[in-house]
Amino acid sequence: MREFILFTRGWTKPFKLNSLTNAGRMDLIARCITNAIFVSEAIRPNVKIHIVLNGPPRPPLLITFDTSRLKRVAPDERNVASHIRIALEKFRGEGIESEPGIYIEKKSFEELVKEKLNRNLIYMHPSGEDIRNLKLKNWTAIIGDHKGIPKTIEKFIEKLGIKKVSVGKIEYLASQVITILHYETDRLVL
């Protein structure tokens, strides 16, 4: 199983689909989800992407897309964003499955990371060890949004001893890092 944890500043309230960039960069979040869960014309098996929304008005909220149960999601930003909006509209304070394979709950980034400590956790960072040196087949990758991970959260990650891993010397977009991680892992297992 491959898992992604994306730290974002995305809104924690329903938003307009015509204004994704103004909802805490919901466009970027949707692009990351698309790159995590799809291959050409199909849903990629055995993938979870956890989106931690830290924007206003009620942070943090965690939305998870689990491809083992996912249905009726298309690989475009607006469609993916509509499923996030549905989850936000249905959320009433208790964790729920808003649609098949899409879950929402009140949970912080730190709580989620602590839950995943038994997994092969890696923190995607330009100064980390090259992904090709590690030959990882199963992992949970921590990725920041367009502004990166806040310094206080980085200190939390370092304190837990989570390994920094890099996909190269260039700082790529979060969605591109997701694609590169899939590519490098696919090379090892396929």
**Mean of the per-residue pLDDT values of the chain:** 96
**Looking at residue 54, which CATH number applies to its domain?**
3.40.1280.10
How much is the pLDDT for 41?
83
Chain segment 33-83, per-residue pLDDT in tens: 999 999 998 999 999 999 999 999 999 999 999 999 999 999 999 999 999
Inter-residue contact 124 to 118 (CB < 8 Å): no
Q: Domain tally for the chain?
A: 1
User: For 184, phi and psi rounded to 5 degrees?
Assistant: -65, -40
How much is the pLDDT for 189?
87
How much is the pLDDT for 135?
86
Q: Which domain holds residue 140?
A: 1-190
Residue 155 clears pLDDT 90, i.e. is over it? yes
Of the chain, the percentage scoring pLDDT greater than 90 comes to 95
Read off the pTM: 0.97
Inter-residue contact 23 to 77 (CB < 8 Å): no
